[in-house]
Amino acid sequence: MKKIILKCLVLAVVLMVINQCLYQLFPSVYFGQPDADHNWNYLLEHATDYNLIFMGSSRIVRHIDPEEFNAACDPAPKIRSYNMGLGGMQPPESYYLLEKILQMKPAPFRYILVELELFQTSGSWENIGTLRAEHWYTFDWYFRAVRLVLGSGYGSARKVKTLTWYTHQWFRHSLNSGYTAQQLRPPGSITFASWQHGYEARNAEKLAAWLSSPPPNAREDLIAYNRYMLETHERFLENPERLEALKRKSMAAFSQPNRTPGKSAHHSLIRNLIQRAKTQNVDLIFLLTPRSYFYDQLLPLYDALPAEHKIELADANRYPQFYAREYSFNVGHLNEAGAQLFTKALARRFSELITPDQPADQ
């Protein structure tokens, strides 16, 4: 029995080494989600068509219209932007993809706007076995994630839970133990379709009309996803108080006097990413978006960043429109009209941030 166990361990180690070598030799990104993979590959194939990209979660892909952003920016720099947001994307996954982009030679993008988010501390166990949940677990990024957890202010129980999750996912990825093509939980994060420049707005009337007569070739997973999204809209209308609670939480967090910037392992990683981007003439800008539940934890991180590398549009005291019911699709997201307001506000703040001697064209 001991010999059998030893042989299994040796085989596992050999498989891990082989797979890690393959990941290094063939470092392509594959989400296992048709639409996400299409948008990523489209961006790489047409990289020279753009000089600015947005990266982050559904609060990026649903809230920023690239064409509206381009038109609303100061006319001096000619901005050509692409929305590479993806539902459920947060660090370390977003930083893994950012690093992939920074490895491109030469760097085609002048600006990269990344949503400032907490790093993922756990995931849904139902998603184990999906490429989307595990694709970023390279040897390097696993140990970076471990350092982030150990250097965080989390309690011991949360650290153990997070490290258990990361280690389990890393072993699966290293052993290449088999995957399913899609997320197992459609709600909120399975796919986004190939909208213009990656943008996906949410309009309840249009969504209901689409579901009443979906295209003949519509995938079942996309139909299920859109049906779920419409249900979240209907639940929001039944209980709008949740949005008011979120608004009050934002107002309280931003109203705290004498906020103290927080230096952490996460902050150090961001500073390193900013410096690396600078070496390739890329301005990395972190965006604090509305409707997060974690401003009490995000604000110390945001406050510690250099002023020229951050934009905040999350304070409900200053931006109540981004928490208004009439501009909401559900609790966590703006509707199409709200997205247009947000895009224009972001374009104004971005135009104020960049300087005339930094032309956008390359």
Average pLDDT over the chain reads 81
Query: Residues 213-234: what's their mean pLDDT?
Result: 85
Please give the Cα distance from 312 to 94 (Å, whole number). Answer: 19
β-strand partners of 113: 54, 285
Residue 288's DSSP bridge partners are: 312
First vs last C-alpha separation in the chain: 64
Whether CATH 3.30.360.10 fits 34-116+186-353: no
Of 21, 20, 18, 43, nearest to 31 (Cα)? 43
**The pLDDT value given to residue 105:** 78
Indicate if the pLDDT at residue 361 is higher than 90. Answer: no
pTM for the whole structure: 0.85
Q: Which residues contact 291 (CB under 8 A, 6 or more apart)?
A: 59, 246, 250, 314, 322, 323, 331, 332, 333, 334
pLDDT digits (tens, 9 = 90+) for 33-85: 666 777 888 888 888 899 999 999 989 999 999 999 999 986 666 899 999 98
What is the C-alpha separation between 101 and 336, in angstroms, rounded?
29
Q: What is the pLDDT of residues 110-140, one digit of tens each?
A: 999 999 998 876 665 556 666 677 777 788 8
Q: Are 207 and 229 in contact (CB under 8 A)?
A: yes
Q: Are strands 328-330 and 283-288 parallel, antiparallel or unpaired?
A: unpaired
pLDDT in tens, 269-296: 999 999 999 999 999 999 999 999 999 9
Residue 122 in tokens: 């756990």
**CB proximity list for 348: less than 8 A, separation 6 or greater:** 72
**Per-residue tokens: 165:** 């999750």
| Between 224 and 192, the higher pLDDT residue | 224
Domain boundaries of the chain, sorted by first residue: 34-116+186-353
How many residues comprise the chain? 362
Confidence of residue 330 (pLDDT cuts 50, 70, 90): very high
